[in-house]
Structure 1
Amino acid sequence: MKMLRTRSCIFLASAAVLVAGSTLARAADPREGFSFGSCTLTGKPNTISLTTLEKDTLTVATPLPNPGWWNGTSPSSISSGFEYCLAADIAYRAGLHHLKIVNMAWDQYISGTSTGYDIALGSTTITPARQKVFNFSRPYFSAGLGVATLPSNNISEGNVKAKRIAVLQGNVGADWVTHILKPQSVLVYQSSPDMFTALMAHQIDAVVTDTTLALTQAKMSNGNIRVVGQYNVDQGYGIITAKTSVNTQAIDKAVAELAADGTLKQLSKTYLQPMFGVSPDSVPVWSLK
């Protein structure tokens, strides 16, 4: 009888330890209390320190729509996407519980005159000219310039210079097309949707923009638009902070850690590859002729 009581006590004590251990394990999850849409958070909170406009909130400026990067058409509808979850992970690592998204038109976003945000995150290529206006983090993504067109337009590496080419105002591709590619005609548009609407209406022959954005539009067109080539211009996307910001170094540190721990690669695999339909590396690389 005494032996049974002893075994019972040992069993109850073991069970108590297991329950306590389980409780401690749950309590030890650093992500508890943090939730940003469908994002899977990585790293640990409070590993960087940010000074923000609003308490416990990271305010992020971006030009919408931008499928794959920000999945949704308005700030209130977004809960996933490469850049949304990148911003969420930065907020989490700063110990912040909220994201506030500020939607801006592209020309307003890239002008350098806008205020009211902590960081700006919108597939923004780092260039020497832009570095005079903004501070940038190290690149979190790299892309070339893709050539998107309709199959009936018969655009090729050899004849593209003789065609009507659309570019996005303020985009690196606009300067490159105008001064390096030098096609017969360059038409500048205020937004990405405007460019691709013009392409579908046969008002232009091709769009030259970031390969990732071109592939996204092609996938959404159900085969009507194709990305037939790309130019390797080694574009790197960086996170913007204002020249007066005290957060620049902390944001750069966060991007470095997100690259080192594999988070950026996972974000690309989760949100970008399904949007592209094909790997950007599979698009033929064109040279200037």
Structure 2
Amino acid sequence: MKLIKRTVIAAAALVVLSLPAAAGGKIGNCEVSGEKGSIPIATPAKAGQLTVEVSLPAPIWWNGDDPAAIKDGMEYCMAAEIAWRAGYDKLEVVNVGWDALIAGQTEGFDLAMSQISITEERKKVHDFSVPYFGSDIGVLARKDAPVDGTSIKSARVGVQQATTGAAFAQDTLGLTDVLVYPEQGDMFTALRAGQIDAAMTDTSIVLAEEKANPDTVAIAGQYKTGETYGAIYPKGNANNAILDKIIQSMIDDGTVAKLGAKYLAAAWGKDPATVPYFTP
């Protein structure tokens, strides 16, 4: 999602829940498929568990608005599988502010997963995992006021601060009527209320919003950017190479693809490749 281009770093609002596994190889509602402890971590951030940060809300990726409500979702179940293969059946989810996460102002976690685009700028602050998902920049508009590749140039466009969507709208497209929102939910609320003509962020995210509000908004198009998502690791942490090995094993054995089919393709109701591409 997201590039460092911040004005104010919001304080992280932490909400924490520890979730033990149920019997039969499950964490939350996630059926873990790998061998428990097959790629062990010796020194996690907190003993006896995997600690994962996320900036909520993140529908489909983390199904719930706070950790207490989350039991599944694409990245949640990825985190559950990582915990299991690392040797733990306990997953602690920590909800943090987006700006604080991206700026490296959070601590005490093993990894963060929050639809985070890998960028060279961010690599100065964080270590990243191997990429596990590709996403372009999508444009969401109201159904009663559609936009296209031409009209978007003069539209009022909402973006979330510190995101790659914000940078793309302002720096690459050169849009001048841009409203910057601190949180993703604020941007989408403004769109539905008619305060902006379009919202611009990851195609994967606008597809989820279209699915959640099919009567009011629709994806108008997308721009090819070649972005990929990765997990954030604390810079220089000794466990990073082990976590990378776990994630790569999940890619290689098809676990990530299966989770994508279950949570993403089914939830969106369409293939992102069918969304038309605008020319910058």
Please say whether Structure 1 and Structure 2 have the same fold, judged by a TM-score greater than 0.5.
Answer: yes
Larger radius of gyration: 1
Q: Structure 1 residue 161: deviation in Å?
A: 0.8
Higher RCO structure (Cα 8 Å, ≥6 apart): 2
Q: Structure 1 residue 111: deviation in Å?
A: 1.6
Q: How many angstroms apart in 1 are the aligned matches of 2:146 and 2:45? A: 50
Q: Which residue of 2 aligns with 1:19?
A: none
Q: Structure 1 residue 279: deviation in Å?
A: 1.3
Pair 1:74-2:66 in alignment: yes
Q: Structure 1 residue 209: deviation in Å?
A: 0.3
Pair 1:222-2:222 in alignment: no
| Amino acid in structure 2 at the alignment position of 1:35 | K
The SS at the match of 1:100 is strand
Instruction: For residues 75-124 of structure 1, give each alpha carbon's deviation from its aligned partner in whole angstroms, at most 9, with x where no partner exists.
Output: 11111000000001000001111000000121122121111211111000
Q: Structure 1 residue 32: deviation in Å?
A: 6.5
Q: Alignment partner for residue 195 of structure 1, among 187, 198, 210?
A: 187
The SS at the match of 1:214 is helix
Q: How many angstroms apart in 2 are the aligned matches of 1:224 and 1:32? A: 42
Q: Which residue of 2 aligns with 1:106?
A: 98
Q: How many angstroms apart in 2 are the aligned matches of 1:229 and 1:253? A: 35
Q: Structure 1 residue 177: deviation in Å?
A: 1.1
Q: Alignment partner for residue 160 of structure 2, among 164, 168, 183?
A: 168
The SS at the match of 1:230 is strand
Q: Alignment partner for residue 174 of structure 2, among 179, 182, 192?
A: 182
Q: How many angstroms apart in 1 are the aligned matches of 2:29 and 2:23? A: 14
Q: Which residue of 2 aligns with 1:36?
A: 27
| Amino acid in structure 2 at the alignment position of 1:133 | V
Pair 1:52-2:20 in alignment: no
| Amino acid in structure 2 at the alignment position of 1:239 | A
User: What residue ranges of structure 2 are gaps of 5+ in the alignment?
Assistant: 1-21
Pair 1:277-2:269 in alignment: yes
Q: How many angstroms apart in 1 are the aligned matches of 2:89 and 2:146? A: 50
The SS at the match of 2:93 is strand
Instruction: For residues 239-279 of structure 1, give each alpha carbon's deviation from its aligned partner in whole angstroms, at most 9, with x where no partner exists.
Output: 11111311111111112111111111110111112321211
Q: Structure 1 residue 41: deviation in Å?
A: 1.2
| Amino acid in structure 1 at the alignment position of 2:147 | I
Q: Which residue of 1 aligns with 2:114?
A: 122
Q: Which residue of 2 aligns with 1:22?
A: none
Q: Alignment partner for residue 144 of structure 1, among 111, 131, 136?
A: 136
Choose 40-49 or 102-111, whichever is displaced more.
40-49
Instruction: For residues 111-148 of structure 1, give each alpha carbon's deviation from its aligned partner in whole angstroms, at most 9, with x where no partner exists.
Output: 21111211111000000000000000111111110000
The SS at the match of 1:199 is helix
Q: How many angstroms apart in 2 are the aligned matches of 1:172 and 1:249? A: 26
Q: Which residue of 1 aligns with 2:250?
A: 258
| Structure with a larger share of its residues in helix | 1
Q: How many angstroms apart in 2 are the aligned matches of 1:187 and 1:277? A: 29
The SS at the match of 2:169 is helix
Choose 126-135 or 110-119, whichever is displaced more.
110-119
Q: Structure 1 residue 183: deviation in Å?
A: 1.5
Q: How many angstroms apart in 1 are the aligned matches of 2:64 and 2:277? A: 31
TM-score by length of 2: 0.89
Q: How many angstroms apart in 2 are the aligned matches of 1:47 and 1:186? A: 48
Q: Which residue of 2 aligns with 1:23?
A: none
CA RMSD of aligned residues (A): 1.4
User: What residue ranges of structure 1 are gaps of 5+ in the alignment?
Assistant: 1-30
Q: Alignment partner for residue 238 of structure 1, among 219, 223, 230?
A: 230
Choose 92-101 or 251-260, whichever is displaced more.
251-260
